[in-house]
Amino acid sequence: MSESTTIRWEQDETGVVTLVLDDPDQSANTMNQAFTDSIAAVADRAEAEKDSIRGIIYTSAKKTFFAGGDLKEMIRLRPEDAQAAFDTGTGIKRALRRIETLGVPVVAAINGAALGGGYEICLASHHRIALDAPGSKIGLPEVTLGLLPAAGGVTRTVRLMGITDALLKVLLQGTQYSPKRALDSGLVHELAATPEEMLAKARAFIDANPESRQPWDAPGYRIPGGTPAHPKFAANLPAFPANLKKQLNGAPYPAPRNIMAAAVEGAQVDFETAQTIEARYFTELVTGQTAKNMIQAFFFDLQAVNAGRSRPRGVEARTVRRVAVLGAGMMGAGIAYSCARAGIEVVLKDVTAEAAAKGKAYSEKLLDKAVAKGRTTEAARAELLARITPTADTADLAGCDAVIEAVFEDTSLKHKVFQEVQDVVAPDALLCSNTSTLPITGLAEGVDRPADFIGLHFFSPVDKMPLVEIIKGERTGDEAIARAFDLVRQINKTPIVVNDSRGFFTSRVIGQFINEGVAMVGEGVEPASVEQAAAQAGYPAKVLSLMDELTLTLPRKIRNETRKAVEAEGRTWTPHPADEVIDRMVDEFARPGRSGGAGFYDYDEAGRRSRIWPGLREHFARPGADVPFEDMKERMLFAEALDTVRCLDEGVLTSIADANIGSIMGIGFPAWTGGVIQYINGYEGGLPGFVARARELADRYGDRFTPPASLVAKAERGETYAD
């Protein structure tokens, strides 16, 4: 019999056993080997002492109930280990099932976050009571790491709520629910306001249900909503979310497909067989490249980035209390909302009081929606709005300890507004610009304290986009970098830190993706195929429609400025094949993009995209144009990956984790890759395979695909990219 080291057995005189999850070696409980051994030992003891047990309560001694799978272990799993760990015969699945079917009531007293494996323990309980703690989350987010819940999560959610709800509410999106929303969605049975109340309710359930068992173990049980006769049933689910449809429509995300297959196949067989099916589909995922990529990005890289890998050491943390947001347009309004949501006082300044008020109205609109959906309360709405002061008066900015400028993209205007405010705000206020294209070093010339001046590049829509790119100018000091980093964390966003360069990292690299798509139109490729290639490569946005959103005149302006700068340095300027297409679209056909009413797409009067402009085929078609579909996808991915390597070479980027996270969270590089550099690491054949393929693309499509010398050397040394 193995020993239970991570679960404490506490039995009271009435025969109620509390299983206290408490891994002595970690700050949170995870499904590691010690837990696997412990839960098996608990099942052995429970069976041996069954007659003296009146009920079982799972709860935890940690702040969170249970953190889920042990990703460090998982990323190293070999197929044979994975099968053993999650098989019905031996591992966690078996132990949870033995306790679930012991014949005594089993209750989960969920004292904090229960995600993944943690919620699977709850699912193996007859009754689930969640402590309504702020920030607590409940759900099965495995899909977001390219996995599926393999400790019975698929098998039990399907039996709990039926295939459709299990897939759409829990499994396919990996939604993390607050306790209240978990209650509404049927993930838990009741809430408790305090830990004492939670445990009292658990005991009350045991007293009232001495014979308790799972619905699916009762005679005559049927899966809610019935089971589909046809295995393709899931593909026709009624309210199938569009983004999932896209993922399944050829984009290389194996997890949703395996989850659906496990759910649908598992619904047609008995419980034990369903668990075996679930284990097989899991094994395929956990040992595949996509899950490794996604775990690397969304767990290890994200943790490293948020923990301050790129934050200068030794600078004391400071909290921003009052921020001046200059410009209440689209970006300023979103920045004001995000800061106010984090509890910061915001003074939102524009040229007129009306414009400033309009910027604040944006927060009102977002909050109205949140209240209607039950995501926030009227009181919280009022408090947040009270923190935003709209104004046209510079004097109101007195006492602000940070400034975030988001006026029009114009160097002299930006210089002017900083001149106006720098003596009004706190004398050591952090000075940030949200410019999307202007070099920070040049903007810093307009302020008296260039060491305190820094780029803070938000993405649109600000309230939804999780990334902020911090840009160091030549004269930016370490203290400013650290303060900017802390400010981004304070508003719950993820900061990457880059050195100044035209387009920084994100705008520069996404430009390569767009240019590649546009270049293909110029080569006579069917435009709909270009869009389809982007979707199948896993990009969230189609390439030509994205170009229309950004407007075609913008890259032209940036291109002309870059060209001037390059030529001024005496270097040769190499045009991109996309340039000609963009020039013709703007000059010859007067189609500058969506805001101009026409671009690669046609738009109706309300500005809605209607169809790809038929003129594209007419004007750009070339007889015999033929780009293999695989090349189309890889040209976009490689264009971005190769330019990222150049960013590393030039010192624009200094961290692999920043590159991976920035590419996925800022510019929509496909998440299945684990990020733009992990894409190179994980490419078939590793770095040598990537180099060989880049050379092939260079032969066919141009020098821009020639792999940089640093990459070739790394491949020859047998290395991969790592921080």
Q: Does 329 bind ligand NAI (CB under 6 A)?
A: yes
Q: Any bridge partners for residue 129, and if so which? A: 109, 190
Q: Does 586 bind ligand NAI (CB under 6 A)?
A: no
State in angstroms the smallest separation of the CB of 614 from ligand NAI. Answer: 29
State in angstroms the smallest separation of the CB of 664 from ligand NAI. Answer: 17
Q: Restricting to residues 302-321, which ones interact with ligand NAI according to CB under 6 A?
A: none
Among 330, 426, 541, 698, binds ligand NAI (CB under 6 A): 330
107: nearest Cα among 223, 19, 14, 10? 19
Residue of minimal Cβ distance to ligand NAI: 329
Other CB atoms within 10 A of residue 413 CB: 14
Sign of the C-alpha dihedral computed for residues 405, 408, 409 and 413 taken in this order: negative
SS (H, E, C) 522-585: HCCCCHHHHHHHHHHHCCCCCHHHHHHHHCCHHHHHHHHHHHHHHHHCCCCCCCCHHHHHHHHH
Q: Which two tokens stand for residue 560?
A: 């002309």
Among 406, 544, 547, 582, binds ligand NAI (CB under 6 A): 406
Among 133, 199, 342, 407, binds ligand NAI (CB under 6 A): 407
Q: Which is nearer to ligand NAI, 111 or 436 (CB)?
A: 436
Q: Any bridge partners for residue 348, and if so which? A: 325, 390
Q: Which two tokens stand for residue 666?
A: 């800022």
Q: Which is nearer to ligand NAI, 66 or 362 (CB)?
A: 362
Q: Which is nearer to ligand NAI, 467 or 519 (CB)?
A: 467
Q: Does 676 bind ligand NAI (CB under 6 A)?
A: no
Q: Please work out the total of residues on this chain that contact ligand NAI, with binding judged by CB under 6 A.
A: 23
Among 35, 458, 600, 603, binds ligand NAI (CB under 6 A): 458
Q: Are 473 and 440 in contact (CB under 8 A)?
A: yes
Taking CB under 6 A as the binding criterion, the range among 238-246, 302-310, 402-410, 687-695 that sits at the site for ligand NAI is 402-410
For 113, phi then psi, to 5°, come to -55, 135
Q: Which is nearer to ligand NAI, 456 or 656 (CB)?
A: 456
Q: Give the DSSP letter string of 180-236.
A: HHHHHTTS-SEEESSHHHHHHHHHHHHHH-TT---GGGSTT---TT---SSGGGGGG
Residue 127 three-state SS: strand
Other CB atoms within 10 A of residue 532 CB: 17
User: Can you tell me the distance from the alpha carbon of 675 to that of 707, in angstroms, rounded to the nearest whole number?
Assistant: 18
Q: Restricting to residues 410-449, which ones interact with ligand NAI according to CB under 6 A?
A: 413, 417, 434-436
Q: Which is nearer to ligand NAI, 209 or 394 (CB)?
A: 394
Taking CB under 6 A as the binding criterion, the range among 16-24, 39-47, 406-414, 593-601 that sits at the site for ligand NAI is 406-414
Q: Restricting to residues 37-96, which ones interact with ligand NAI according to CB under 6 A?
A: none
State in angstroms the smallest separation of the CB of 683 from ligand NAI. Answer: 31
User: Can you tell me the distance from the alpha carbon of 397 to that of 426, in angstroms, rounded to the nearest whole number?
Assistant: 9
Among 355, 404, 481, 711, binds ligand NAI (CB under 6 A): 355
Sign of the C-alpha dihedral computed for residues 67, 185, 665 and 326 taken in this order: negative
Among 328, 488, 661, 691, binds ligand NAI (CB under 6 A): 328
Q: Which is nearer to ligand NAI, 379 or 395 (CB)?
A: 395
Taking CB under 6 A as the binding criterion, the range among 175-183, 197-205, 343-351, 471-479 that sits at the site for ligand NAI is 343-351
Q: Does 152 bind ligand NAI (CB under 6 A)?
A: no
Which residues are near ligand NAI by CB under 6 A?
A: 326-332, 349-351, 355, 406-409, 413, 417, 434-436, 457-458, 460
